[in-house]
Amino acid sequence: MNETFGFFDVDCREITPTQTLAFRPRVQPLADKLNALYAYAARQDVVTIFTTCCSGRMLARDSRDDVLFVPLDASDTEWMQGATQAHLIYLQKKAYGDPQLNFACRAFDMFTDNQQAERLLRLLAIPEWVVFGNGFDLCVNSAATGILHAGYRVTLLTDLMIPGAKGYGNNGTEENKIAVYAELVRQGARAITSEQFFQVKSQEESLF
């Protein structure tokens, strides 16, 4: 297992009735790049944590044998037994059944609602997380901030970000995107494109 970095996929995919993972509609334009990233993860044995949008179809526990399910219930620690052997890890988020209520209750913040998120990071002990996904202003921002506050490095893939939906304050505006990036970089995140990421990793791999 690659132990130098992992992927943190924020809300790009949801479960289908046939228990396959499909892209959320707003993420479809990034499908080719994301599939390339997932293929790289499989080849290089990279751990991937992923979440599903509060308005999407979320995974149920034990719905897929290849996914480790990390529940919201902090007293439920059975998942910990297989954490360090897992390659695909699903971090459960809250959902209130209404977009406005999801926003008001900050259901997008998986590190607040799921107190096992930081526990998971500590178990994996992977120093750097490469973050990308859907809903940059709120959902991706919450993931990156949670990782940074837990003491781990964050790399943001700027071309694999879908802006947040508009209609929630200044969420989804260009001005807010710039401000969020600036704050994350101030906290220590670095922002690069997926092409730059692959170039760097290719150079590193050629040294070994």
49-67 pLDDT, tens digit each: 999 999 999 999 989 999 9
Mean pLDDT of 29-35: 97
Mean pLDDT of 80-107: 90
Higher pLDDT, 5 or 168: 5
Q: Given pLDDT bands bounded at 50, 70 and 90, which one contains residue 105?
A: confident
Higher pLDDT, 153 or 107: 153
Query: Does the pLDDT of residue 208 top 90, yes or no?
Result: no
Asked whether the beta carbons of 6 and 48 are under 8 A apart, the reply is yes
Predicted confidence at residue 30, as pLDDT, reads 97
Query: Does the pLDDT of residue 145 top 60, yes or no?
Result: yes
162-181 pLDDT, tens digit each: 998 887 788 889 999 999 99
Taking all residues of the chain, what is their mean pLDDT, rounded to a whole number?
93
Higher pLDDT, 7 or 207: 7
Q: For residues 157 and 169, what is the distance between their CA atoms, to the nearest angstrom?
A: 24
CATH architecture of 2-206: 3-Layer(aba) Sandwich (3.40)
Predicted confidence at residue 101, as pLDDT, reads 83
Q: What does the domain layout of the chain look like in residue ranges?
A: 2-206
- List b or e across 162-182, with b for residues whose CB sees 16 or more CB atoms inside 10 angstroms: bbbbeebeebbeeebbeebbe
Query: Does the pLDDT of residue 153 top 60, yes or no?
Result: yes
Residues in Cβ contact with 19 at an 8 Å cutoff, skipping those fewer than 6 apart? 63, 64
The sign one gets for the Cα dihedral 91, 96, 98, 100 is negative
Q: Are strands 13-15 and 68-70 parallel, antiparallel or unpaired?
A: unpaired
- Terminal CA-CA length for the chain: 16
Q: Given pLDDT bands bounded at 50, 70 and 90, which one contains residue 133?
A: very high
Predicted confidence at residue 111, as pLDDT, reads 95
